[in-house]
Amino acid sequence: MTRTLVILSTLALATPLSAAPEALTHEQAMKRMEGCLSTGAPGAPRTGLRAAIVALRSLCAPQIHRVRDLRLAEIDARYGLPEARLTEAQEVERHAAHEAAERRLDDEVAFAIANYTGLTQ
């Protein structure tokens, strides 16, 4: 018994508290997000599309955030970030591109949830 506890405590100390997220391509991240949404759809509330969206966005937040982060990183790379120094106009354009990418992702998620749940309103 004591030997088992020593082994388990040694393993617990050797295991990192949080592993670094694995590097995924945009396509892999999208597949994981879509998989989460489709898997969670049967358990989503049937009181309306808004309730289903809220529930599934909460359930699949890590996958949605991963896709969002990859898309925003692509935008930043187009501006040469993190090394580049942007002008004020470029910063405004970059911010607008970020907002547009986030809105597009929100629309994609809502559309997918509507398709997976069959809810329309």
Q: How far apart are CA 121 and CA 108, in angstroms?
A: 16
What's the structural domain count of the chain? 1
User: Which of 101, 120, 106, 118 is CA-nearest to residue 54?
Assistant: 106
Q: Hey, what are 84's tokens?
A: 């580049």
pLDDT tens per residue, range 56-69? 999 999 999 999 99
9-13, 17-21, 32-36, 48-52, range with the lowest pLDDT = 9-13
Return phi, psi of residue 113, to 5°.
-65, -40
In a domain, 69, yes or no: yes
pLDDT tens per residue, range 85-106? 999 999 999 999 999 999 999 9
In a domain, 102, yes or no: yes
Cis peptide before 45 (omega within 30 of 0): no
In a domain, 3, yes or no: no
Read off the pLDDT of each residue in 64-82 and give the average, rounded to a whole number: 95
Q: What percent of the chain has pLDDT over 70?
A: 83
Model pTM?
Answer: 0.78
In a domain, 30, yes or no: yes
What pLDDT is attached to residue 21?
Answer: 60
In a domain, 8, yes or no: no
What pLDDT is attached to residue 71?
Answer: 97
Q: Is 49 helix (H, G, I), strand (E, B) or coil?
A: helix
Residue type, 33: M
In a domain, 6, yes or no: no
Query: How many residues does this entry show for the chain?
Result: 121
Q: Which residue, chain included where needed, has tokens 């809810």?
A: 119
pLDDT tens per residue, range 10-30? 444 444 445 556 788 999 999
Q: Which residue has the higher pLDDT, 111 or 24?
A: 111
- Collect contacts of 89-96 with beta carbons under 8 A, ≥24 apart: none
Query: How many Cβ atoms sit within 10 Å of the Cβ of residue 67?
Result: 23
Q: Which domain holds residue 40?
A: 25-117
